[in-house]
Structure 1
Amino acid sequence: MCSRKGGVLPKRIILVRHGESQGNLDPGTYDTTPDPKIQLTQQGISQSRLAGARLRHLLSGDGSPNWRVYFYVSPYSRTRSTLREIGRSFSRNRVIGVREECRIREQDFGNFQVQDRMPLIKETRQRFGRFFFRFPDGESAADVFDRVSSFLESLWRDVDMNRLNHDPSNDLNLIIVSHGLASRVFLMKWFKWTVEQFELLNNIGNCEFRVIQLGSGGEYSLAVHHTEEELLQWGLSPDMVADQKRRACSSKADWNDQSSWYLDAFFDRLPDSDDENVEDKHQQTNSLTLPY
């Protein structure tokens, strides 16, 4: 079992988007109902119960009898209701705790949303860029990134200091019930994806989940549980998919040796050695015409 300082590493970190909400079904709901108070539809409740059964099957399906789960949940009504329905699939002895976490809440779109204005605002967001565009009186995805980053640091402190009161003989699974954009930003932060890579990602469907799981070499990856076809469908580029595959089976040292593609995203070409760099500079100097 892998450990991190004083705590045991979670086997899985699972990001779950809430079930279908009244706002998903009728955007006009945002005109009169505060976003945090928007409820699940009946379809959303059914989706949440099904998600609970699927999660239970996932956690118990690898033959390990000693697994436990800890939940983090956004404070919004629809995420809390989703968690409540998911919980129907778990017995009390499997759940070691739950925490409401404000930092994984939905992106703030600016209090009540006037639907006559939203199409123009969202069209402007597409032209400006989804990550940096800030909604009037609301947040940008970059703002959400900052608070999700802070949450992630707290999550690791929870693990390191065993604030979760987890028995190290059991497999630990963290389930984060949140929202579409917050989940994509979490993945961006976790895997150190660039803004350009974030812009490629598709939103997560209602009650869909993404499983970040420890691979055989001690690295976390989406490719342990999910297929290449799924990753491509979610918007990951071929390079991002290849990276996930490496993480699934490689050690950290091996992954560092194979990650030149990431450097190439920032540099035209880095020399393989200092000697090559010196030789290139010498050739460039000889080709220059120096002024008198």
Structure 2
Amino acid sequence: MLPKRIILMRHGESQGNLDTSAYTTTPDHAIQLTPQGIQQARRAGGDLRRLMSGEECSPEWRAYFYVSPYARTRSTLREVGRRLSRKRVIGVREESRIREQDFGNFQIEDRMKAVKETRERFGRFFYRFPEGESAADVFDRISSFFESLWRDLDMNRLRHDPCNDLNLVIVSHGLTSRIFLMKWFKWTVEQFEHLNNFGNCEFRVMQLGTGGEYSLAVHHTAQEMLEWGLSPEMIADQKWRATACRGDWNDQCPWYLDAFFDHLPDSDDEIAEKEDETNT
């Protein structure tokens, strides 16, 4: 039984978001939420509850959480939990593979400014921070997480009653969440490069459509997706997924084939004709 929703949430405002010099003396994983971040998380908890208990939802809905081990994500989850009852939360798991991109131990402010300028020239996906990770490295560990996630669902390790709507909530980080979406929807590196970051405690809702495919377009508007950096073609694909049957192939999706080939002949006969023309 698949979850009705997979919800990706970024942590609340952290000390590092407010003042990047915090990273010079505090390990990234130990950065705390600001008072504003705590309030954001509490409001997000209420927003999540209203989403999961809204119209067309099972009255016996449940939530299961995966959370990054960083202090700011765990604190975000703790505040979100203030808006949920014990009855609704069937479990939580700390998952290190959904942690923040590693930027390399303590961060020297002037050096990091130069490093990030270099990243912009090199490319955000492939640039690897000294002593840290690239977004491509994050992609690899998210791919590994996917395998565990599917096993958890297939083997019902979440102890979910299929009669109830299940909401999987992943409390993580901005880049990690964008990589999750990239992996899930098979977006290209170029498409990833155009995505905008999540706001603090902002979340994206992947919801099952009528045919069994997950789509951002079930809950979110085209305007929202455009503001996130999705192209018109990516938005069209999300709308298609909202009604597509699970496992269907979207022939109109340009990056599945057309982005990789200049021209694919429609038939073998056309190839043979071109070869004959070349040989004469």
Question: Which category describes the TM-score, using the shorter chain as reference length?
Answer: over 0.9
* Alpha-carbon distance in 2 for matches of 1:222, 1:132: 26
User: Which structure would you say has the larger Rg?
Assistant: 1
- Contact 1:66–1:170 (CA<8 Å) still a contact in 2? yes
* Alpha-carbon distance in 2 for matches of 1:284, 1:251: 43
1:284 is displaced (CA, Å) by 3.6
Is structure 2 residue 58 aligned with structure 1 residue 85?
no
Query: What SS does the aligned partner of 1:257 have?
Result: coil
Aligned to 2:21: 28
Is structure 2 residue 54 aligned with structure 1 residue 61?
yes
Aligned to 1:237: 231
State the Cα deviation string for residues 151-178 of structure 1 (Å, max 9, x = none): 1110010000000000111111100000
Query: What SS does the aligned partner of 2:42 have?
Result: helix
Change (3 A) 1:187 1:253: closer
State the Cα deviation string for residues 56-99 of structure 1 (Å, max 9, x = none): 01111123212111000000000000000001111111111000
1:251 is displaced (CA, Å) by 1.8
* Alpha-carbon distance in 2 for matches of 1:124, 1:27: 18
Change (3 A) 1:259 1:278: farther
State the Cα deviation string for residues 116-152 of structure 1 (Å, max 9, x = none): 1111100000000000101111111011111111011
State the Cα deviation string for residues 9-50 of structure 1 (Å, max 9, x = none): 111100000000000000000010111111000000000001
* Alpha-carbon distance in 2 for matches of 1:161, 1:120: 47
Is structure 2 residue 261 aligned with structure 1 residue 249?
no
Aligned to 1:182: 176
Change (3 A) 1:178 1:285: same
Change (3 A) 1:243 1:70: same
Normalising by structure 2, report the TM-score: 0.96
Is structure 2 residue 20 aligned with structure 1 residue 15?
no
- Contact 1:247–1:255 (CA<8 Å) still a contact in 2? no
* Alpha-carbon distance in 1 for matches of 2:40, 2:247: 41
Query: What SS does the aligned partner of 2:73 have?
Result: helix
State the Cα deviation string for residues 188-212 of structure 1 (Å, max 9, x = none): 1101111111101111110000111
User: 132, 145, 148: which one pairs with 1:154?
Assistant: 148
Larger deviation, residues 56-65 vs 66-75: 56-65
User: 33, 40, 45: which one pairs with 2:38?
Assistant: 45
**Residue pairs, 1:167-206, within 5 angstroms:** 167-206=161-200
Equivalent position amino acid for 2:136 in 1:
A
1:276 is displaced (CA, Å) by 2.5
User: 121, 126, 136: which one pairs with 2:120?
Assistant: 126
- Contact 1:197–1:236 (CA<8 Å) still a contact in 2? yes
Query: What SS does the aligned partner of 2:162 have?
Result: coil
Structure 1: gaps (5+ residues): 1-7, 287-292
* Alpha-carbon distance in 2 for matches of 1:183, 1:253: 23
Change (3 A) 1:114 1:153: same
* Alpha-carbon distance in 2 for matches of 1:118, 1:224: 39
- Contact 2:233–2:254 (CA<8 Å) still a contact in 1? no
**Residue pairs, 1:220-235, within 5 angstroms:** 220-235=214-229
Is structure 2 residue 272 aligned with structure 1 residue 281?
no
RMSD: 1.2
Normalising by structure 1, report the TM-score: 0.93
Structure 2: gaps (5+ residues): none
- Contact 2:205–2:220 (CA<8 Å) still a contact in 1? yes
